[in-house]
């Protein structure tokens, strides 16, 4: 008897223009477009295998070896259902195809980085799951079409279906059919770009992104300014910087957008604090490095937690590493509650 299985992996992506806020929480439609860089590194990925079999009694998922429930109408369920419907349509159009859409599917997913390291795993995890099931079903859909599904698993996941520099266009339609990810430039276009991941804390974050961003939507006047006046121009400017490989502009926009995102978190009621003292020291060190260089040669960015990602060109990585090691020595990490670990990634 034929076995139907497929494996796919997807890397973590780190946003330069941040996604923060939904206009539709069910369909996961954002209040602004966003842009990220997908880290092309073997040890920051999720890998998911899916297997369909007539003997399976229900869909099941194991995440890092532990079974997680697939709630009916929950985010995962919605993704599986959407892909299964595409497969059903194919089977209806071509009677020669095996009717595997009728089988239940088992998924096994693992991250090759510690989930507790505070690095977003939902983006890579959901993207890997969608890619894996679409392989299993031999779906003809493009990565952008698949991103419509991954988006409904976790907003940022839609960007992890592409490598390189990726935009998630917020779209205008109410049904979300134009809220999708697309490539701005391939990784090969600007291979000198590197990212340094600085794990400031591996504690689980206090406020989840999902609940935090909706509190911001409900209470922050500053968010309205950000989504209407600030982000649209930045999306254009950073895309141009990427196309022209203009690191100075890329860095300035990236740092300002990270700060803008954390400002709207602070403008939320009650306020959300993701940065800690170490995060702020990283900002100070990078600002000083850039001041001394006379131009931006490194760019910090922070997501919904204290960990820093520093973008820099390969030629400047030794300088950045040297500085980070000097100010945040690894040896001290065990004694220091604000420990800092780092990993260099080519993007």
278 binds ligand 2P0 (CB under 6 A): no
Pick 20 or 311: Cβ nearer ligand 2P0: 20
155 binds ligand 2P0 (CB under 6 A): yes
15 binds ligand 2P0 (CB under 6 A): yes
Q: By beta-carbon distance, which residue lies closest to ligand 2P0?
A: 155
Interatomic CA distance for residues 213 and 208, integer angstroms: 8
Q: Which of 8, 10, 12, 28 binds ligand 2P0 (CB under 6 A)?
A: 28
Interatomic CA distance for residues 308 and 330, integer angstroms: 15
Q: How far is CA 259 from CA 66, 251, 323, in A?
A: 36, 12, 22
Pick 289 or 347: Cβ nearer ligand 2P0: 347
Would you give the DSSP letter of residue 208?
-
Pick 18 or 84: Cβ nearer ligand 2P0: 18
- From the list 93-101, 150-158, 241-249, 326-334, the region that binds ligand 2P0 by CB under 6 A is 150-158
Pick 223 or 304: Cβ nearer ligand 2P0: 304
Pick 49 or 209: Cβ nearer ligand 2P0: 209
Q: Which of 195, 304, 320, 345 binds ligand 2P0 (CB under 6 A)?
A: 304
CB of 330 to ligand 2P0, least distance (A): 26
- The pairing of beta strand 104-111 with beta strand 45-53: antiparallel
CB of 125 to ligand 2P0, least distance (A): 10
Pick 265 or 320: Cβ nearer ligand 2P0: 265
CB of 159 to ligand 2P0, least distance (A): 8
Q: By three-state DSSP, how is residue 144 classified?
A: helix
Q: By three-state DSSP, how is residue 104 classified?
A: strand
312 binds ligand 2P0 (CB under 6 A): no
Q: Which of 112, 141, 145, 210 binds ligand 2P0 (CB under 6 A)?
A: 210
Q: Does the N-terminal peptide bond of residue 270 adopt cis geometry, omega within 30 degrees of 0?
A: yes
161 binds ligand 2P0 (CB under 6 A): no
* CB contact burial 61-99 (16+ within 10 A = b; e otherwise): bebeeeeeebeeeebbbbbbebbbebbeeebeeeeeeee
Q: Which of 47, 132, 207, 209 binds ligand 2P0 (CB under 6 A)?
A: 209
154 binds ligand 2P0 (CB under 6 A): yes
The residues, ordered by sequence, that sit 6+ positions from 113 with a Cβ below 8 Å of its Cβ are 12, 43, 44, 45, 119, 121
| CA geometry: angle 191, 131, 70, nearest 5 deg | 130
Q: How many CA atoms lie within 13 A of 186 on its CB side?
A: 2
300 binds ligand 2P0 (CB under 6 A): no
CB of 106 to ligand 2P0, least distance (A): 23
Task: Count other Cβ atoms within 10 Å, centred on residue 55.
Answer: 7
Q: Which of 31, 50, 122, 307 binds ligand 2P0 (CB under 6 A)?
A: 122
Interatomic CA distance for residues 33 and 18, integer angstroms: 8
Binding positions for ligand 2P0, 69-88, rule CB under 6 A? none
Give, for 81, the enclosing helix (H) or strand (E): helix 75-93
Residues engaged in binding ligand 2P0 (CB under 6 A): 15, 18-20, 28, 34, 122, 154-156, 209-210, 303-304
């Amino acid at each position: 008897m034929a076995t139907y299985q497929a494996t796919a992996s997807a890397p973590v992506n780190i946003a330069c223009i941040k996604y923060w806020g939904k206009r539709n929480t069910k369909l996961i439609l954002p209040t602004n477009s966003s842009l990220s860089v997908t880290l092309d590194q073997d040890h920051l990925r999720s890998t998911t295998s899916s297997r369909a079999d007539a003997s399976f009694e229900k869909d099941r998922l194991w995440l890092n070896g532990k079974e997680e429930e697939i709630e009916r109408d929950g985010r995962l369920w919605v993704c599986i259902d959407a892909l299964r419907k595409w497969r059903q349509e194919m089977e209806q159009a071509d009677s020669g195809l095996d009717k595997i859409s009728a089988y239940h599917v088992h998924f096994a997913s693992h991250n090759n980085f510690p989930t507790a390291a505070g690095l977003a795993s939902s983006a890579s995890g959901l993207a890997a799951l969608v890619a894996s099931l679409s392989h299993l079903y031999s779906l003809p859909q493009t990565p952008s079409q698949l991103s419509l599904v991954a988006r409904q698993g976790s907003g940022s996941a839609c960007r992890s279906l592409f490598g390189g520099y990726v935009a998630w266009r917020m779209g205008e339609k109410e049904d979300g059919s134009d809220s999708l990810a697309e490539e701005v430039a391939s990784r090969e276009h600007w291979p000198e770009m590197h990212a340094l991941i600085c794990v400031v804390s591996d504690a689980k974050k206090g406020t989840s992104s999902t609940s935090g961003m909706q509190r911001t939507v409900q209470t922050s006047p500053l968010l309205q300014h950000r989504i209407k006046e600030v982000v649209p121009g930045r999306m254009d400017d950073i895309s141009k910087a990427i196309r022209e490989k203009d690191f100075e502009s890329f860095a300035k926009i990236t740092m300002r957008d990270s700060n803008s995102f954390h400002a709207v978190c602070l403008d939320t009621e009650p306020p959300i604090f993701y940065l800690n003292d170490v995060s702020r020291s990283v900002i100070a060190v990078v600002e000083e490095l850039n001041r001394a260089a006379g131009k931006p040669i490194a760019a910090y960015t922070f997501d919904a937690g204290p960990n820093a990602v520093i973008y820099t060109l390969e030629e400047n990585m030794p300088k950045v590493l040297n500085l980070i090691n000097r100010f945040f020595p690894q040896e001290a990490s065990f004694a220091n509650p604000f420990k800092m670990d780092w990993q260099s990634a080519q993007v």
